[in-house]
């Protein structure tokens, strides 16, 4: 079950506690985010993906996600595949 906490320092920081399946799912969704990696919030997406990869989370998307033409992210039925 996902949990979140706020820890106030000079900047607000958030800590998420995720199950392995939740972390793999988050990584899979983040892999579908586009945008400029310097001048848009996409840079934060890359930082989060990097943090997930640093603890061994990496999702293969081919059997897990399909991106619809409207830009929505659709999940296929089936298991999350761990890379």
Tens of pLDDT, residue by residue, the chain (83 residues): 878 888 766 777 788 899 888 888 888 888 888 889 899 999 999 999 999 999 988 876 445 555 545 666 766 665 544 44
What is the DSSP code string of 19-56?
Answer: -HHHHHHHHHHHTT--S-TTTSTHHHHHHHHHHHHHTT
Give me the pLDDT at residue 83, please.
Answer: 43
Pairing of strands 65-67, 73-75: antiparallel
In a domain, 11, yes or no: no
In a domain, 43, yes or no: yes
In a domain, 4, yes or no: no
Give me the pLDDT at residue 47, please.
Answer: 93
Both tokens of 2, joined, read 């996902």
Give me the pLDDT at residue 5, please.
Answer: 83
Give me the pLDDT at residue 82, please.
Answer: 46
User: What's the N-to-C CA distance of the chain in angstroms?
Assistant: 22
Give me the pLDDT at residue 11, please.
Answer: 76
Give me the pLDDT at residue 62, please.
Answer: 42
Mean pLDDT of the chain: 77
In a domain, 6, yes or no: no
Domain that holds residue 24: 18-75
In a domain, 30, yes or no: yes
């Amino acid at each position: 079950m996902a949990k979140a906490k706020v820890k106030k320092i000079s900047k607000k920081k958030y800590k998420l506690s995720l199950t392995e399946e939740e972390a793999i799912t988050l990584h899979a969704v983040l892999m579908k985010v586009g945008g400029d990696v310097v001048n848009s919030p996409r840079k934060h997406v890359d930082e989060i993906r990097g943090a997930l990869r640093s603890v061994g989370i990496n999702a293969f998307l081919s059997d897990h996600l399909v991106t619809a033409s409207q830009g929505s992210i659709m999940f296929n039925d089936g298991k999350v595949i761990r890379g």
